[in-house]
Amino acid sequence: SQKIEQNSEALNIQEGKTATLTCNYTNYSPAYLQWYRQDPGRGPVFLLLIRENEKEKRKERLKVTFDTTLKQSLFHITASQPADSATYLCALGTSGGYNKLIFGAGTRLAVHP
């Protein structure tokens, strides 16, 4: 069966450290993968998109990797800040262009001062 797995347990880290979140998927062949941030009671906000032919993407303190062999994406936040505390969702897009996304359940990140 098709699955997208994100660690359901909250990730607690100290301010200034690098947070690493994992997204694993099975029985999908995504054309691209996206990461979103969601705060409580709000809609998701787009962060990064990485395509199947890309290994790594960076944006300011954010870095995403995409390993289609391992069927895994890693999302890193360097020099983390308490303001980075939120739930982070990965989403798979199964064809090119904008198309319906399949979301993981998200991982809650808590950055402590």
Partner 1 sequence: GAVVSQHPSRVICKSGTSVKIECRSLDFQATTMFWYRQFPKKSLMLMATSNEGSKATYEQGVEKDKFLINHASLTLSTLTVTSAHPEDSSFYICSAARSGANTGELFFGEGSRLTVL
| Interface with partner 1 (CB under 8 A) | 4, 32, 34, 36, 41-46, 49, 89, 93, 96-106
| 95: DSSP letter | S
Cβ 53 to partner 1 shortest distance, Å = 13
Cβ 44 to partner 1 shortest distance, Å = 5
Residue 9 to residues 45, 51, 88, 107, 110, Cα–Cα distance (Å): 21, 27, 12, 7, 11
Cβ 91 to partner 1 shortest distance, Å = 8
Nearer to partner 1, 8 or 18 (CB): 8
Nearer to partner 1, 13 or 49 (CB): 49
Whole-angstrom Cα distance, residue 74 to residue 82? 20
| 81: DSSP letter | -
Nearer to partner 1, 84 or 93 (CB): 93
Cβ 12 to partner 1 shortest distance, Å = 16
Nearer to partner 1, 28 or 103 (CB): 103
Residue 104 to residues 25, 42, 80, 83, Cα–Cα distance (Å): 9, 17, 22, 22
Whole-angstrom Cα distance, residue 60 to residue 67? 21
